[in-house]
Structure 1
Amino acid sequence: MSLTGSTSNRMWTTLCFVAGLLLCVGAAKLPSTTTTTTTTKPTLTPLSLEDLFRIMFHRDDLNNDGVQTLSEFEQLWRQADLNGDGSITLTEYSTTLHFTRFVSREVYKYLDHDHNGVISMQEVPRLFTEFDTNYDGWITEQEFVDETFRMYNFVKKDIGPDKK
């Protein structure tokens, strides 16, 4: 299954951004230039989940205004609808979010409240309100991070190391 151009570009942009962040973090930890001959290798610091969720938020803030609106949310779902049938299947969800199929399945089950195997465009406003916790019409970075953590913690119990 091939990715659409915009999805592929967003994926590469995200990967380059994360790689750049890791390099910057590693470079920031290097000692300042001195006359000593001791060489220290940079250590890469892994991103925290919160950092990752913040990167995801900004990747999906299509007009870069610092909030996500229902319109942007719907546009993201249309991009994920690879076959254009108005619904997102588990396969489309897995492909566009670049998660493993196992993790995607658990998150998808969480999002598919009626458990009919698809998330239709009619369900998107309900999903939006789950992230817009103060119901003001847009999702802030903090609302996104908080809701994504809530979702992560809910799903984590089904995909943890003690699950088979």
Structure 2
Amino acid sequence: MLKVAILALLFISNVKSDGDDGSSGHDLFNKYDINHDNHMGITEFRHLFMGFDAWPEDGRVSEHEFIAGWTAYHSELTEDRSTALFFLRTDLDHDGSVTASDVDKLFHMFDENGDNSVSDREFCDAFTAMYYHIKKC
């Protein structure tokens, strides 16, 4: 229930972008649903956020690594100015880097029914609520 309330507050407190470039959160889900079972497990989910850990590969994605990686691989989903906001919303403990701990917390927030996997619908609902500048699925 708390997860739903947090996501609802995040959604209500933000204004959605009206841009339409043909890409969506659904496309992003499909890209990281490696085994194409329409569910994202924790490993697939971690790869979405932790895959930008560049030199040094230390298990921490700095703001610079995140912005560079997101811009290189997913620029069709966000505008340059919103990528820093995306990083800040992903760095849940506000320590200046995205870690497995942040991503695991996000995973459980996205996993609305608690079955330890994130469905396409759960992903799209939570992703567009938290990261409102991403187009709705």
Query: Normalization by structure 1: what TM-score?
Result: 0.58
Cα RMSD between the aligned structures? 2.2
May I ask how many residue pairs the two structures share in their alignment? 108
Give the match for residue 24 of structure 2. Answer: 52
Give the match for residue 35 of structure 2. Answer: 63
- Structure 1 residue runs of 5 or longer lacking an equivalent are 1-44, 157-164
CA contact (8 A) 2:89 2:131 kept: no
CA contact (8 A) 1:61 1:68 kept: yes
Larger radius of gyration: 1
Which of the residues 46, 53, 63 maps onto 1:74? 46
Between stretches 119-128 and 140-149, larger displacement belongs to 119-128
Letter in 1 for 2:65: E
Distance verdict in 2 for CA 1:113–1:101, change over 3 Å = same
SS at match of 1:134: coil
- Structure 2 residue runs of 5 or longer lacking an equivalent are 1-19
Give the match for residue 91 of structure 1. Answer: 64
For residue 114 of structure 1, report the CA deviation from its aligned partner.
Answer: 1.8
CA contact (8 A) 1:90 1:104 kept: no
Which of the residues 106, 110, 116 maps onto 2:89? 110
Query: Normalization by structure 2: what TM-score?
Result: 0.68
For residue 78 of structure 1, report the CA deviation from its aligned partner.
Answer: 4.1
**Which protein, 1 or 2, shows the higher relative CO under an 8 Å CA cutoff with sep ≥ 6?**
2
Letter in 2 for 1:74: R
Q: Distance in 1 between matches of 2:113 and 2:102?
A: 19
Q: Distance in 2 between matches of 1:46 and 1:115?
A: 31
